[in-house]
Structure 1
Amino acid sequence: MYDLAVLAHWAEFAVRWLHVITAVAWIGSSFYFIALDLGLHRDRNLSTGADGEEWQVHGGGFYNIQKYLVAPKSLPDDLVWFKWESYSTWLSGFSLLVLVYWLGGELYLIDPRVLDIPAWQGALISAASLAAGWIVYDRLCRTRFGDEPVRLMLALFGIIVLMSLFYTHVFSGRAALLHLGAFTATIMTGNVFFTIMPNQRIVVADLKAGRKPDPNYGKIAKQRSTHNNYLTLPVIFLMLSNHYPLAFAGQNTWIIASLVFLMGVTIRHWFNTVHARKGHPHWTWFATALIFLVIVWLSAPRAFTYDESAELPMTPYAERYAQAAGFEEVHDIVQGRCSMCHAAEPAWPGLYWPPKGVMFETEAQIASRARDIYLQAGISHAMPPGNLSEVTDEERAAIRAWFQSAG
């Protein structure tokens, strides 16, 4: 019989899989169309009246692609709209945020040593920050301040830095970087849903009615699409950051997160320049490498400074499992089999920090990770890797009995 922990785990897996699939579709189409638009040959006098064209070869065939700023005389009804890739990515990502960080707030969202608040308050702050971020960004784009692209991008970077600082002072390090990614992704999908698609619908309606479209609609849509182009790579980094504690569990997390956005700009500038046939800005390689080395330097010296006086307190979730039958035995099992790696100063050769920042040195640390211990070492053999510490079947059974006894 599958229990709720197992079903919840598979639900997270299914939603995460969906999120990855839709994100690949969105990012792929976004990168393709940016590269296509930048690479169009606009120096050709096309009889069709198109703004530019490009010939491409793929899959054993040849494609002649033309872009119209003003639609041809005959506009087909079956236009392909690239929108659901974006919507599905955001919806699946938001669902995953709810499943992992809102419902698992005591474990993943809140760190009492950062800010000791109930998980439900953290969830409210999470939701409010995503909505507020889009509103502030959108209002800024619609003002005269947003008419200057460079100035607007600098302001957007300033907002991101402030949000990095905010999130790292409210949530756990892991949740802070994840939320910064969700914050940015919300802006990107908001651009598609609230600006790009409505503007395109207005232009299409005008063309079908025989009216001359206002070119400003296309200009605004292009601006938002460019923002999305430069924000994509940092979002990918932030979404993967929970696998790497040096990125999220150190003392300089907010600075690292901010620098990641600069790396995204330098990388995309290289591709955009090359696709536009404007040269090969090799300086972007060195700038990206330099930023990355700074991130490494910021993370390594004080990645894990563990203060015993700032011990993780017992949350209601942890108390529930600390008081469950069999906890003393499981406590001894985990400390004997797992703490050589999962410690502030790991004893296992070659480890210099606890994997994923998880430590099992105190009762509170062990009890607060009850579900993970159950899934990783109780009903599966995922931990320890290769069973290097030789956890027995009897010990795994004890872990299962302990977790299940807590209801």
Structure 2
Amino acid sequence: MYDLAALGAWIEFAVRWLHVITAIAWIGSSFYFIALDLGLHRDRNLASGADGEEWQVHGGGFYHIQKYLVAPAGMPDRLIWHKWQSYWTWISGFILLVLVYYLGAEFYLIDPNVMELATWQAIALSLASLGFGWMVYNQLCKLFVDADQTVLMVALFVVLVGMAWFYTQVFTGRAALLHLGAFTATIMSGNVFFIIIPNQKIVVADLMAGRTPDAKYGKIAKQRSTHNNYLTLPVIFLMLSNHYPLAFASEWNWVIASLVFLMGVTIRHWFNTHHARKGNPHWTWAATALIFIAIVWLSVAPNPQREAAIVTRFAEADGFEQVHDIVLGRCSMCHAAEPVWNGLLWAPKGIALETQGDLSRYARAVYLQAGVSHAMPPANLSYMEEDERAAIVAWYRNAIGG
């Protein structure tokens, strides 16, 4: 019989591959059409009645492209719809969310140190948040459809910052950033499925019926398409973040995630301005670099308030004094500001376990490395006893209430 674990891993691999392929196709077409639209020459009186045109060269040939502001006079014989890239990116991404985070909730979704949740509660929060995101965003768009779009983008940014903070209060850091990416990607796919394609179908139906299409449908679709353009790069960062603990495991991970959205805006602003032939705002690259430097700093910056709460929680748990004595005797000869173990010049991974604060701060690592496993001390060089490991496990579980 085939190994079910291996089969499951290959299914996950196949879905992930599909997700990457469809995402590349969607992002590529999105970037291309936005660049094309911004670069159209609209100062020409075209006999076809088109709003603008562009000549491009690629693959050994020339392309003459025209765009009609609302629709052409008649329905073309063949019309290509760009929608399935978006749909399958979301579908494959959601399947991955189920395979990795829902079926592996104990490892990847739930952190008792953050919030005590049953698996069904965590999954329910995840699903509800995705639906909530679309409803709030859609209402904001309807509210600000005729307003300055900068106001709408600021309102959306406030929502995203709020969701970044919310996710870090209920899920693991890894799941929090991944969910913020899924939250944003759901908004983007919702734009295509609920707004852009239905509006285009209304225009097509009008053409086929001999009616003149209403320009408002194109205006609304353009608004949503522009939003997708600015949200794409942050989504890519958030989807890749689960490979980089410095991004998701930082005490300031929700601030890092929020700043990533600003980087997406500054980067896309340069490209969009350039494509529209309105100059090259190089200040955007300086702004992007400064934001990224801030992210790098935040990735290692402590959060004194949260750290103090964690230290108190573990220091007040039953068994703390005993475990502190165990760690001092079995671990701190290496994990110290000045290690005394022969050949060590600094503490492994920079982790010191000398004070009570140190033990509280690295409680989870001690629990995993020396409590539930025998990874530490390496080769059990300091002869940690089984009852000592059991004491570490009991203390940690007392602290988290498990």
Spell out, residue by residue over 1:340-374, the C-alpha distance to the aligned partner (whole angstroms, 9 max, x if none): 9xxxxx99999569xxx9x8643589869xxxx9x
Q: Name stretches of at least 5 consecutive residues in structure 2 with no aligned partner.
A: 315-333, 336-343, 352-361, 380-402
CA distance in 2 between counterparts of 1:366 and 1:6 reads 29
Deviation at 1:120, TM superposition (A): 1.6
In the alignment, residue 196 of structure 1 is paired with which amino acid? I
Spell out, residue by residue over 1:201-220, the C-alpha distance to the aligned partner (whole angstroms, 9 max, x if none): 00111122111111111110
CA distance in 2 between counterparts of 1:146 and 1:238 reads 31
Deviation at 1:236, TM superposition (A): 0.2
> Is the Cα contact below 8 Å between 2:144 and 2:152 reproduced in 1?
no
Deviation at 1:147, TM superposition (A): 3.1
- Which position in structure 1 is the counterpart of 2:117? 117
Spell out, residue by residue over 1:2-42, the C-alpha distance to the aligned partner (whole angstroms, 9 max, x if none): 43322222121111111000000000000000000000111
Tell me the TM-score normalised to structure 1 length: 0.77
In the alignment, residue 262 of structure 1 is paired with which amino acid? L
In the alignment, residue 113 of structure 1 is paired with which amino acid? N
Aligned in 2, Cα 1:146/1:361: closer, same or farther, shift over 3 Å?
farther
CA distance in 2 between counterparts of 1:365 and 1:217 reads 62
CA distance in 1 between counterparts of 2:370 and 2:4 reads 22
Secondary structure of residue in 2 paired with 1:62? strand
The yes-or-no answer on 1:271 pairing with 2:271 is yes
Spell out, residue by residue over 1:152-200, the C-alpha distance to the aligned partner (whole angstroms, 9 max, x if none): 1110000000000100000000000000000000000000000000001
CA distance in 1 between counterparts of 2:206 and 2:146 reads 26
**Mapping 1:4-403, distance limit 5 Å:** 4-144=4-144, 147-302=147-302, 361-363=366-368
CA distance in 2 between counterparts of 1:55 and 1:351 reads 56
In the alignment, residue 128 of structure 1 is paired with which amino acid? A
Farther off after superposition, 292-301 or 84-93: 292-301
Aligned in 2, Cα 1:144/1:56: closer, same or farther, shift over 3 Å?
closer
CA distance in 1 between counterparts of 2:139 and 2:233 reads 24
CA-based RMSD: 3.0
Deviation at 1:233, TM superposition (A): 0.2
Q: Name stretches of at least 5 consecutive residues in structure 1 with no aligned partner.
A: 312-338, 341-345, 374-388, 391-407
Aligned in 2, Cα 1:146/1:107: closer, same or farther, shift over 3 Å?
farther
> Is the Cα contact below 8 Å between 1:140 and 1:146 reproduced in 2?
no
> Is the Cα contact below 8 Å between 1:54 and 1:65 reproduced in 2?
yes
In the alignment, residue 67 of structure 2 is paired with which amino acid? K
Secondary structure of residue in 2 paired with 1:93? helix
CA distance in 2 between counterparts of 1:42 and 1:249 reads 49
CA distance in 2 between counterparts of 1:281 and 1:69 reads 28
> Is the Cα contact below 8 Å between 1:163 and 1:180 reproduced in 2?
yes
CA distance in 1 between counterparts of 2:89 and 2:127 reads 17
Farther off after superposition, 359-368 or 18-27: 359-368
Q: Quick one: percent identity of the two aligned structures?
A: 68
Farther off after superposition, 297-306 or 149-158: 297-306
Deviation at 1:72, TM superposition (A): 3.1
Secondary structure of residue in 2 paired with 1:147? coil
Q: Computing the radius of gyration over CA atoms, which structure comes out larger, 1 or 2? A: 2
CA distance in 2 between counterparts of 1:100 and 1:363 reads 21
Spell out, residue by residue over 1:294-333, the C-alpha distance to the aligned partner (whole angstroms, 9 max, x if none): 111111233997967767xxxxxxxxxxxxxxxxxxxxxx
CA distance in 2 between counterparts of 1:136 and 1:302 reads 33
> Is the Cα contact below 8 Å between 2:74 and 2:207 reproduced in 1?
no
> Is the Cα contact below 8 Å between 1:164 and 1:176 reproduced in 2?
yes
CA distance in 2 between counterparts of 1:310 and 1:256 reads 26
CA distance in 1 between counterparts of 2:170 and 2:26 reads 30
> Is the Cα contact below 8 Å between 2:70 and 2:215 reproduced in 1?
no
CA distance in 2 between counterparts of 1:85 and 1:367 reads 45
Secondary structure of residue in 1 paired with 2:116? coil
CA distance in 2 between counterparts of 1:352 and 1:85 reads 45
Aligned in 2, Cα 1:367/1:27: closer, same or farther, shift over 3 Å?
farther
- Which position in structure 2 is the counterpart of 1:402? none
Aligned in 2, Cα 1:176/1:348: closer, same or farther, shift over 3 Å?
farther
Deviation at 1:70, TM superposition (A): 3.9
Secondary structure of residue in 1 paired with 2:170? coil
CA distance in 2 between counterparts of 1:96 and 1:125 reads 17
